[in-house]
Structure 1
Amino acid sequence: MRVMVTTKGTGADEGKARPSQEMFEKMQAYNELLVNAGILLGGEGLKPSEAGAQVVFTAGGTSVVDGPFTESKEIIAGYWIWEVSSLAEAVEWAKRCPFDPQYGATQTLEIRPFFDMADFAETVDPATLEKSRQLQERGGEG
């Protein structure tokens, strides 16, 4: 099972702290554990939302909003993609993540499984599912 694990912080605290040498080394050691366990497929930290944009779709059209997104209660600060045997295994690995209080009193890791093409078999025809599988292969995903 592939899962995405996102690291979340509050919008108000975004960009106020950079990782210290000590925290960077702790996270590097954690990532090494994930690699050695064979579950880490990818992941990166994300720059603050002030460096990004949102594309918003409404019935009235599409608009672009430049960052920062300080009105957001939660900001995604980074992510991992893991290959695990179960959600329970992902939770156990997430619980081992180093916590750095400089980023606020509450930090959250959210774990979300990816859909498999089989999840859509009841509502999407086999030819369309096969085309999606081929596109994923060509794009280097999944």
Structure 2
Amino acid sequence: MPASFGAVFLLLCLLQVKHMFADYYLQTPKMLSGRGTYFHVGRAQHAAVHVVGSVIIFALFRAPIEFILIIAALEWIVHFHIDFAKASYSDRKQLHPNQAAFWRAAGLDQLLHNLTYIGMAWAWVTFAA
């Protein structure tokens, strides 16, 4: 049976709430410093916080464990690289919050994360619901 609109809407809402907490409440100083370096342990930890939240959400939606493991790995990779791209660009351009380019970079970063959640919801509907 295909997923209902309500279930997809709830899934997307929960992923948004998870994103807000992981990006704005649960980041540590280690996660926030030195993000322009590719092999950054803090960014890896930050992406892992996102994954833990998504795993909980998909478990609540009774997604198969195989689906959860695959979507978790893909989310970690995508989140890690979106954040690296923003950080390295911001560092290279020496962007600061008082510059419009800083906010464009931040907005693009958030858009890409939101599109990731739309992709994850599509995958759930297609492969797990």
TM over 0.5: no
Pick 1 or 2: higher relative contact order, CA cutoff 8 A, min separation 6: 1
TM-score category of the 2 structures, normalised to the smaller one:
0.3 to 0.5
Higher helix share: 2
Higher strand share: 1
Q: TM-score, normalised by structure 2?
A: 0.35
Over alpha carbons, which structure has the higher Rg?
1
